[in-house]
Structure 1
Amino acid sequence: MAINNVNSGLPKTPVDNTKISQQNQTQQSQQQQATSNNASVAQAPRQDSVSLTQSAQQLNQVQKKGSEAPVNQEKVDRLKKAISSGEYKVNPEVLANKIAKLEGEIFGQK
Protein backbone atom coordinates (compact mmCIF):
# COMPACT_ATOMS: atom_id res chain seq x y z
CA MET A 1 0.00 0.00 0.00
CA ALA A 2 1.43 3.35 -0.99
CA ILE A 3 0.73 6.69 0.60
CA ASN A 4 0.65 9.57 -1.81
CA ASN A 5 0.13 13.27 -1.29
CA VAL A 6 1.02 13.30 2.40
CA ASN A 7 1.48 17.06 2.51
CA SER A 8 -0.69 17.69 -0.50
CA GLY A 9 2.48 17.96 -2.48
CA LEU A 10 3.72 20.95 -0.48
CA PRO A 11 7.30 21.04 0.77
CA LYS A 12 7.96 20.35 4.45
CA THR A 13 7.95 23.31 6.79
CA PRO A 14 11.51 24.00 7.95
CA VAL A 15 12.26 23.55 11.66
CA ASP A 16 12.54 26.86 13.50
CA ASN A 17 15.67 26.37 15.62
CA THR A 18 15.21 29.74 17.28
CA LYS A 19 11.82 28.75 18.64
CA ILE A 20 13.19 25.41 19.91
CA SER A 21 16.14 27.07 21.68
CA GLN A 22 13.76 29.57 23.32
CA GLN A 23 11.58 26.71 24.58
CA ASN A 24 14.64 24.91 25.96
CA GLN A 25 15.83 28.07 27.73
CA THR A 26 12.37 28.57 29.25
CA GLN A 27 12.34 24.99 30.53
CA GLN A 28 15.83 25.33 31.98
CA SER A 29 14.98 28.57 33.77
CA GLN A 30 11.83 26.97 35.23
CA GLN A 31 13.88 24.00 36.46
CA GLN A 32 16.44 26.32 38.03
CA GLN A 33 13.71 28.27 39.80
CA ALA A 34 12.18 25.06 41.12
CA THR A 35 15.59 23.89 42.32
CA SER A 36 16.31 27.20 44.06
CA ASN A 37 12.85 27.17 45.68
CA ASN A 38 13.45 23.64 46.97
CA ALA A 39 16.86 24.66 48.30
CA SER A 40 15.45 27.64 50.17
CA VAL A 41 12.69 25.51 51.66
CA ALA A 42 15.23 22.87 52.73
CA GLN A 43 17.35 25.50 54.48
CA ALA A 44 14.50 26.82 56.60
CA PRO A 45 14.75 25.55 60.20
CA ARG A 46 12.08 23.13 61.33
CA GLN A 47 9.81 23.90 64.23
CA ASP A 48 9.01 20.33 65.30
CA SER A 49 7.82 19.57 68.79
CA VAL A 50 6.77 16.56 70.82
CA SER A 51 4.33 16.37 73.67
CA LEU A 52 3.65 13.28 75.75
CA THR A 53 0.26 12.40 77.13
CA GLN A 54 -0.17 12.08 80.87
CA SER A 55 -0.36 8.29 80.64
CA ALA A 56 2.88 8.22 78.62
CA GLN A 57 4.58 10.36 81.28
CA GLN A 58 3.35 8.01 84.02
CA LEU A 59 4.60 5.00 82.06
CA ASN A 60 7.99 6.66 81.72
CA GLN A 61 8.15 7.21 85.49
CA VAL A 62 7.20 3.57 86.17
CA GLN A 63 9.92 2.37 83.80
CA LYS A 64 12.51 4.53 85.54
CA LYS A 65 11.49 3.20 88.94
CA GLY A 66 11.57 -0.36 87.63
CA SER A 67 15.09 0.03 86.30
CA GLU A 68 16.24 1.47 89.64
CA ALA A 69 14.66 -1.31 91.72
CA PRO A 70 17.07 -3.68 93.46
CA VAL A 71 17.45 -7.13 91.90
CA ASN A 72 18.24 -10.31 93.77
CA GLN A 73 20.68 -11.65 91.19
CA GLU A 74 21.24 -14.89 93.08
CA LYS A 75 17.53 -15.72 92.91
CA VAL A 76 17.37 -14.75 89.23
CA ASP A 77 20.29 -17.03 88.40
CA ARG A 78 18.74 -19.89 90.40
CA LEU A 79 15.42 -19.52 88.55
CA LYS A 80 17.13 -19.33 85.15
CA LYS A 81 19.00 -22.53 85.88
CA ALA A 82 15.81 -24.31 87.06
CA ILE A 83 13.88 -23.20 83.95
CA SER A 84 16.62 -24.19 81.52
CA SER A 85 17.03 -27.63 83.13
CA GLY A 86 13.25 -28.23 83.19
CA GLU A 87 13.11 -28.47 87.00
CA TYR A 88 10.96 -25.35 87.46
CA LYS A 89 7.29 -26.24 87.92
CA VAL A 90 4.39 -23.79 88.05
CA ASN A 91 1.56 -24.42 90.50
CA PRO A 92 -1.48 -23.13 88.58
CA GLU A 93 -3.66 -22.74 91.70
CA VAL A 94 -1.12 -20.62 93.55
CA LEU A 95 -0.52 -18.55 90.40
CA ALA A 96 -4.28 -17.95 89.92
CA ASN A 97 -4.67 -16.87 93.56
CA LYS A 98 -1.79 -14.41 93.27
CA ILE A 99 -3.19 -12.95 90.03
CA ALA A 100 -6.63 -12.54 91.66
CA LYS A 101 -5.07 -10.85 94.68
CA LEU A 102 -3.05 -8.48 92.49
CA GLU A 103 -6.12 -7.55 90.44
CA GLY A 104 -8.01 -6.87 93.66
CA GLU A 105 -5.27 -4.52 94.82
CA ILE A 106 -5.15 -2.75 91.47
CA PHE A 107 -8.89 -2.26 91.14
CA GLY A 108 -9.48 -1.52 94.82
CA GLN A 109 -11.25 -4.74 95.72
CA LYS A 110 -10.33 -6.81 98.76
Structure 2
Amino acid sequence: MSINVNNNNVSKPLVDNQKLQQQQGQSTNQAQAQQASVAQTAARSDSVSLTQSAQQLSQLHKKGSEASTVNQEKVDRLKKAIQAGDYKVNPEKLAQNIAKFESELFGIK
Protein backbone atom coordinates (compact mmCIF):
# COMPACT_ATOMS: atom_id res chain seq x y z
CA MET A 1 0.00 0.00 0.00
CA SER A 2 1.32 3.46 -0.91
CA ILE A 3 0.48 6.65 0.84
CA ASN A 4 0.36 9.92 -1.05
CA VAL A 5 1.56 12.59 1.35
CA ASN A 6 1.15 15.57 -0.97
CA ASN A 7 -2.19 14.50 -2.31
CA ASN A 8 -1.27 15.40 -5.82
CA ASN A 9 -0.77 13.06 -8.63
CA VAL A 10 0.92 15.55 -10.93
CA SER A 11 4.04 14.09 -12.45
CA LYS A 12 7.24 16.13 -12.48
CA PRO A 13 7.92 17.99 -15.70
CA LEU A 14 10.48 16.44 -17.99
CA VAL A 15 13.83 18.18 -18.27
CA ASP A 16 14.16 20.24 -21.39
CA ASN A 17 16.48 18.37 -23.75
CA GLN A 18 18.05 21.58 -25.06
CA LYS A 19 19.03 22.73 -21.55
CA LEU A 20 20.48 19.33 -20.80
CA GLN A 21 22.58 19.39 -23.94
CA GLN A 22 23.87 22.89 -23.12
CA GLN A 23 24.87 21.83 -19.63
CA GLN A 24 26.62 18.74 -20.95
CA GLY A 25 28.41 20.86 -23.57
CA GLN A 26 29.62 23.29 -20.90
CA SER A 27 30.88 20.43 -18.77
CA THR A 28 32.70 18.96 -21.76
CA ASN A 29 34.30 22.32 -22.61
CA GLN A 30 35.46 22.77 -19.03
CA ALA A 31 36.94 19.29 -18.95
CA GLN A 32 38.77 19.91 -22.24
CA ALA A 33 40.15 23.21 -20.94
CA GLN A 34 41.42 21.47 -17.80
CA GLN A 35 43.05 18.72 -19.86
CA ALA A 36 44.76 21.32 -22.07
CA SER A 37 46.06 23.13 -18.99
CA VAL A 38 47.44 19.90 -17.56
CA ALA A 39 49.05 19.04 -20.91
CA GLN A 40 50.76 22.44 -21.07
CA THR A 41 52.07 22.05 -17.54
CA ALA A 42 53.34 18.55 -18.29
CA ALA A 43 55.05 19.73 -21.49
CA ARG A 44 57.25 22.17 -19.56
CA SER A 45 60.59 20.84 -18.51
CA ASP A 46 63.27 22.05 -16.15
CA SER A 47 66.55 23.26 -17.53
CA VAL A 48 69.88 24.26 -16.11
CA SER A 49 72.36 26.67 -17.58
CA LEU A 50 75.82 27.38 -16.25
CA THR A 51 77.18 30.86 -15.96
CA GLN A 52 80.25 31.79 -17.95
CA SER A 53 82.34 31.68 -14.77
CA ALA A 54 81.15 28.15 -13.99
CA GLN A 55 81.96 27.04 -17.54
CA GLN A 56 85.44 28.51 -17.27
CA LEU A 57 85.96 26.82 -13.93
CA SER A 58 84.90 23.52 -15.46
CA GLN A 59 87.38 23.99 -18.32
CA LEU A 60 90.13 24.83 -15.83
CA HIS A 61 89.31 21.70 -13.85
CA LYS A 62 89.55 19.59 -17.02
CA LYS A 63 92.89 21.16 -17.94
CA GLY A 64 94.17 20.52 -14.42
CA SER A 65 93.18 16.87 -14.51
CA GLU A 66 94.77 16.43 -17.94
CA ALA A 67 98.03 18.13 -16.91
CA SER A 68 101.24 16.18 -17.11
CA THR A 69 102.95 14.86 -14.02
CA VAL A 70 104.61 17.24 -11.58
CA ASN A 71 108.32 17.81 -11.94
CA GLN A 72 109.18 16.86 -8.37
CA GLU A 73 112.87 17.80 -8.75
CA LYS A 74 111.94 21.38 -9.66
CA VAL A 75 109.44 21.58 -6.78
CA ASP A 76 112.08 20.37 -4.30
CA ARG A 77 114.66 22.83 -5.66
CA LEU A 78 112.20 25.75 -5.31
CA LYS A 79 111.22 24.70 -1.77
CA LYS A 80 114.87 24.68 -0.70
CA ALA A 81 115.50 28.08 -2.30
CA ILE A 82 112.44 29.61 -0.59
CA GLN A 83 113.39 28.13 2.82
CA ALA A 84 116.95 29.39 2.46
CA GLY A 85 115.74 32.85 1.39
CA ASP A 86 117.56 32.58 -1.95
CA TYR A 87 114.45 32.63 -4.15
CA LYS A 88 113.93 36.02 -5.77
CA VAL A 89 110.75 36.99 -7.58
CA ASN A 90 111.00 39.01 -10.80
CA PRO A 91 107.81 41.17 -10.70
CA GLU A 92 107.80 41.94 -14.45
CA LYS A 93 108.14 38.29 -15.40
CA LEU A 94 105.48 37.32 -12.85
CA ALA A 95 103.06 39.92 -14.24
CA GLN A 96 103.68 38.70 -17.81
CA ASN A 97 103.07 35.09 -16.80
CA ILE A 98 99.84 35.98 -14.95
CA ALA A 99 98.58 37.94 -17.97
CA LYS A 100 99.50 35.05 -20.29
CA PHE A 101 97.72 32.54 -18.03
CA GLU A 102 94.57 34.66 -17.86
CA SER A 103 94.50 35.20 -21.61
CA GLU A 104 94.76 31.45 -22.18
CA LEU A 105 92.18 30.72 -19.52
CA PHE A 106 89.63 33.23 -20.79
CA GLY A 107 90.44 32.91 -24.49
CA ILE A 108 91.66 36.50 -24.83
CA LYS A 109 94.43 37.27 -27.30
Q: Give the TM-score band, short-chain normalised.
A: 0.3 to 0.5
TM-score between both structures, scaled by the size of structure 1: 0.40
The structure showing larger relative contact order (alpha-carbon pairs under 8 Å, at least 6 residues apart) is 2
